[in-house]
Amino acid sequence: MMATSSVVHLKGKHLLTLADFTGEEIEYLLKEAVKLKAKQKNKEPHPYLKGKTLAMIFEKASTRTRVSFEVGMHQLGGHALFLSKNDIQMGRGETIQDTAKILSGYVDGIMIRTFAHDIVEQLAAHSSIPIINGLTDDFHPCQVLADLLTIYEEKGYLAGNKLAYIGDGNNMAHSLMIGCAKVGIDCSIAAPIGYEPQASIVEKAKQIAADTGAVIHVTNDPKAAVHHADFVYTDVWASMGWEAEQQTREKAFAAYQVNQALMSYAKPNAGFLHCLPAHRGEEVTADIIDGPQSLVFQEAENRLHVQKALLAALLA
């Protein structure tokens, strides 16, 4: 079980990466997500954000991020305002600093899904309201909160599990290392040569793991990474913004497909995770993602519940 903690105060904090939160704060959010998920299933009203408004800035398109945040704000009694890059002046040259100050006077929080991570850092530096990173090229913390909730639901505990991530050392690999390190989950990353996660982020995750007893391991050998894993995770080989490299990446990642042969190195009933969208036949075979070990739709639904917990904690 997750450790029982005292009341955790998160109001007004930013979520730029999971390094911003303590392990206790992450576990608090997961416990609140469990409660909110039960309330929704039981059709119990929970308007904790009545009268609150969240601005959602999208410079990158999304299915799960937009729908989960918009529906989440509605279910919490608040309102979500969708802003594409063409809807606001930031897309026409207005500075991030000015955008942050102006929106701080209108809304109660900002969720942004963008490219360069320094955009969310600048937004946070100049705003007086909470900023939530809905995805950048370097980090995807909201997705990993959903992943951790799924692991907890399946196992009943976090620390002591092992997660193996197979594929590109991208924003998912970065956030999984940090999130796992924060809560004591061993995390092995297997990526082709030249596609490993950023060394500075690996080092940061290892520093965090030193305090929790987790093991962070990066390798070029997918079999070694998957060995004795409780959960096997992958992502598309060419993330948004890298589509021009699709053919090159298909060759580089050919040996990194999650299939029955690779899953045989994990524990017999290891769960399969994927942040979605998935390309069946590329990074994962259909029999795995659509098979009995797959948790991807439970994982996708959990985006809604953990983000509601996050919104309630930051904005209520």
For 222-247, give the DSSP string.
HHHHHTT-SEEEE--SS-TT-GGGHH
Q: Say which of 14, 117, 140, 305 is annotated catalytic.
A: 140
Q: Say which of 230, 275, 293, 305 is annotated catalytic.
A: 275
Establish whether 235 is a catalytic residue: yes
Find residue 272's DSSP bridge partners. 232, 294
Establish whether 143 is a catalytic residue: yes
Give me the phi and psi of 252, to 5 degrees please: -65, -30
Q: Say which of 14, 113, 117, 305 is annotated catalytic.
A: 113
Give me the phi and psi of 308, to 5 degrees please: -65, -40
Find residue 133's DSSP bridge partners. 112
Q: Say which of 75, 235, 305, 307 is annotated catalytic.
A: 235
Establish whether 140 is a catalytic residue: yes
Establish whether 92 is a catalytic residue: no
- Cβ atoms of 289 and 280 within 8 Å: the answer is yes
| Cα separation, 109 vs 128, whole angstroms | 9
Residue ranges for the known binding site are 62-65, 89, 113, 140-143, 171, 235, 239-240, 275-276, 303
Residue ranges for the known binding site for carbamoyl phosphate are 62-65, 89, 113, 140-143, 275-276, 303
Establish whether 217 is a catalytic residue: no
Question: How many whole angstroms from its chain centre is CA 41?
Answer: 23
Establish whether 113 is a catalytic residue: yes
In what helix (H) or strand (E) does residue 131 lie, and over which residues does it extend?
strand 131-135
In what helix (H) or strand (E) does residue 71 lie, and over which residues does it extend?
helix 64-75
Q: Say which of 40, 75, 143, 307 is annotated catalytic.
A: 143
| Cα separation, 295 vs 299, whole angstroms | 6
Q: Say which of 14, 174, 274, 303 is annotated catalytic.
A: 303
Active-site positions? Answer: 113, 140, 143, 235, 275, 303
